[in-house]
Structure 1
Amino acid sequence: MPPTSPALRIEVRGVDATEPAVAPALRFLLRLEADAPIRALTLTTQIRIDATGRGYDEQARERLAELFGPPAAWGRNLSSLLWTQTVTHVPAFTGATTAPVTVPCTYDFDVAAAKYLHGLPDGEVPLRFLFTGTLFYAEEGRLQAAHLPWDTESAFRMPVEVWKELMDRHFPRTAWIRLERDTFDRLYAHRVRHTLLGWDDAVRSLLETSGG
């Protein structure tokens, strides 16, 4: 008779900013419950933003137009976004334990998740955690290994303010964009030519000229 692997239940219980941290990151707290002792667990976590799981006012729709198009197209364009994937090694436990999943965060607007999180004025971010991995357990004195069932997952609603406060702490009153070298050279030449003190001054002068 083949061994029966332990049943494992995983739930996301909370989120906070990692402290101290050189780079911005969020720490999600998992609670794991098993019906048999676990010797070790290698857990791969894919976090997706379930964009269809919340409502959007006019302001949010305008800010998210680059991701989902004009409001008339949201019915077909609004979809799930991949945020990140990470691997966590959980040590042995019996019954229940907790484990952190650390997620590095970026203000890089070439990343869809950063665009989405920046575009939300308030409320909650509907997240779905999809778990895969291998658990190790003892069966009749022998170490056994089993893959987590494909449907092991958990939903969590993260307050938007948690992400915004993290970004404000690491990048106070600033945001980051990436420019091609030629574009940067032209912007730098514009700044020098007009004797502008900083990059904000250079961009503002261009916006004022274009009426933006």
Structure 2
Amino acid sequence: MTGVRFTVVDVAPEPYSVTPRLIARIDVAADGDDPVHAIALRAQVRIEPLRRPYSDDEAAGLTDMFGPRSRWSNTQRTFLWQHAAAMVQGFASRTEVVLPLDCTYDFEVTGSKYLHALRDGTIPLQFLFSGTIFTRGKTGFAVTQVPWDQESQYDVPVRIWRDLVHQHYPNSGWVRLGHDTIAALAEYKSVKGMLDIDEAVTSLLDGVRELR
């Protein structure tokens, strides 16, 4: 049976993607000289928040996820960011494959909440690999599974994610609201003669600040 090892060597923005997307370059190394015909590769990409420190501003932004800093030893746990997949073409000994990582700015997604709270430093990622390996067998193709212990860590600079999101959503973001909330905001905007929902929300926030 051919053994295969996976190592993340780089994570960078995909320059021509319509939506925000990072590209992870994965080094794939096979044990022995037998060629690998293909690999249907899957990866579970997780965030390991315990692998980095946080400023006070970042800690404030993470309160919704982990609570106050005093509780983080109990509440900070590795969590799923996304699933990714790619097809590795046939190779002998070693090759490289590109793994696409789609990035959303939806604050309802846990990963987006975490990433938005970060100001500097790195994003501590863990890649857990799985999938199917196709090799030559005695009567044709042989099929084996990627071993469960194949994983790799990689720290992505926060600026890469922030620059990517700003490129696709310049000076804007996305917040999901209920239909009744949207209707109420639209009515408030119309009554006040405002140009858009953004101005309506800003006005309401200014009113809250004045009450403090």
Q: Which residue of 1 aligns with 2:6?
A: 10
Task: Find 1:177's aligned residue among 162, 175, 178.
Answer: 175
Structure 2: runs of 5 or more not aligned: none
TM norm structure 1: 0.95
Deviation at 1:141, TM superposition (A): 5.6
TM norm structure 2: 0.95
3-state SS, counterpart of residue 29 of structure 1: strand
Q: Which residue of 1 aligns with 2:144?
A: 146
Report the Cα distance in structure 2 between the residues aligned to 1:30 and 1:173, rounded to whole angstroms. 33
CA deviation string 1:74-111 (max 9, x = no partner): 11111112111022111100011110000111100000
Report the Cα distance in structure 2 between the residues aligned to 1:29 and 1:119, rounded to whole angstroms. 26
Question: Does residue 32 of structure 1 match 2:28?
Answer: yes
Structure 1: runs of 5 or more not aligned: none
Q: Which residue of 2 aligns with 1:45?
A: 43
Deviation at 1:199, TM superposition (A): 2.0
Letter in 2 for 1:109: F
Task: Find 2:207's aligned residue among 191, 196, 209.
Answer: 209
Q: Which residue of 2 aligns with 1:23?
A: 19
Report the Cα distance in structure 1 between the residues aligned to 2:123 and 2:18, rounded to whole angstroms. 25
CA deviation string 1:27-48 (max 9, x = no partner): 1000100023101101111000
Kindly report which structure 2 residues correspond to 1:123-162, keeping only aligned pairs within 5 A, or say none. Answer: 123-140=121-138, 142-162=140-160
3-state SS, counterpart of residue 196 of structure 1: coil
3-state SS, counterpart of residue 39 of structure 1: strand
CA deviation string 1:18-69 (max 9, x = no partner): 1211111111000100023101101111000011111111111001111111
Give RMSD over aligned pairs. 1.1
Count residues in correspondence: 208
Letter in 2 for 1:7: G
* Percent identity of equivalent pairs: 34
Letter in 1 for 2:177: L
Report the Cα distance in structure 1 between the residues aligned to 2:152 and 2:70, rounded to whole angstroms. 31
Task: Find 1:78's aligned residue among 70, 76, 83.
Answer: 76
Report the Cα distance in structure 2 between the residues aligned to 1:121 and 1:81, rounded to whole angstroms. 20
3-state SS, counterpart of residue 173 of structure 2: coil
